[in-house]
Amino acid sequence: MDQREEFLLRRRMHGLYLTRRCPEITELSRELLGLHCWFARNAAFSAVIRGASVANWKTALTKTWLYRGTLHGAAFDELPLLLALHADEQPFEWLGLSRAEALRVADRVLFLMEDGVCSRAEMRRIFSYDYDDEVVARLFSPWSGIFVYLARTGRVAFRSMTSRDFDLVAAEPALTPEEALPILLERYFRVYGPATAADAAFFFGLPKHAEKRIAALAEDCCESFELGGRVYFAGEEPRDMRDVPELTLLSGFDPLVVSYAERGAILPAELRPRVILRSGICLPSVAVNGRIAGVWNIKKGEVTVEFFSAPPKRIRDEAYARAEAVRRAVAGNL
């Protein structure tokens, strides 16, 4: 690893609480602009790795769809801001319905939820009397169905971090996308920086043509510098940064891995298929001196660790010990 890559990793690992601790999961979620939780337990893994307690984590955070259509656990009072960036996106064409018909469906779903119908399965049964199987499958798809639309407009969210059912909520976006963007960018670059405009566009699920606007906004609120022909933005350089650790445990969909357009410094291209699967799933991983060198998990209550090449015994033993510590911390909380 050259000095440039090491500098970027030191700054990022500090900002992302991989070389310091954040003892409270809600505060960690605020700092990281939500915790990735396509698999809910990854949010718990991420919290424990960063020093946070996972007591009551299932209800301490609210699970909903945020950037790039991915599920995050967020502090409830943050939702009006976090949702604002994409609240105007309406998947009506994908649903195969006109806008007017889709809005009628949305209103009916909300009415049924007021009567206690809160699961996709029950909604599918009810709507099957009025629509064919293909439309019903689209309406209640976990990827881009009517619940995703309602969640993005702040009117529903998952009942808990581990539930598949939904609750009515009041978290409607308080700002327009244009108003929310500079606020979110300042927070992103402060914690995730140094990062480029392309990184920020990737993180927030914005189109490539937004990069110029992102760079202009970042110039107003962040420090900037050039490395390797790229312009990076960041908050004020912290005084207590530590060196890149010899060993780092990372959660599935860890922010260090999935929050940047360019991730070659931590995940070499030849190893990417072993960490990020074709399905898009990003596995929990182990980094050695800042580079991913293996994957870990908890399967049937037991820790598994797989290195891609044989590490020194002390590294292997420490990786198992840390993964076991995570297992103990989350036992009974998943």
Q: Where are the domains of the chain?
A: 89-152, 247-330
Amino acid at 76: F
Are 177 and 86 in contact by the 8 Å Cβ rule? The answer is yes
**What pLDDT does residue 63 have?**
97
Distance, C-alpha 27 to centroid of its chain: 15
Dist CA 303 CA 296 (whole Å): 7
**What pLDDT does residue 333 have?**
79
**What pLDDT does residue 14 have?**
97
**What pLDDT does residue 144 have?**
83
H-only helix segments in the chain: 3-15, 25-31, 41-49, 57-60, 79-82, 92-95, 99-114, 120-127, 133-139, 146-152, 177-192, 197-204, 211-221, 255-258, 272-275, 313-330
What is the reported pTM?
A: 0.94
Structure tokens at 126: 């009810």
The order of strands in the sheet holding 247-250 is 247-250, 285-288, 291-299, 302-307
User: In 192-217, which positions are buried (b, 16+ CB within 10 angstroms) versus exposed (e)?
Assistant: bbbbbbbbbbbbbebeeebbebbbeb
| pLDDT tens digit sequence for 30-58 | 999 999 999 999 999 999 999 999 999 99
**What pLDDT does residue 239 have?**
86
Are 253 and 260 in contact by the 8 Å Cβ rule? The answer is no
Nearest to 252 by CA among 54, 62, 83, 38: 38
Dist CA 224 CA 311 (whole Å): 37
CA–CA distances in Å: residue 229 to residues 7, 196, 206, 239: 15, 11, 22, 26
Parts of the chain with a pLDDT under 70: 1
**What pLDDT does residue 1 have?**
64
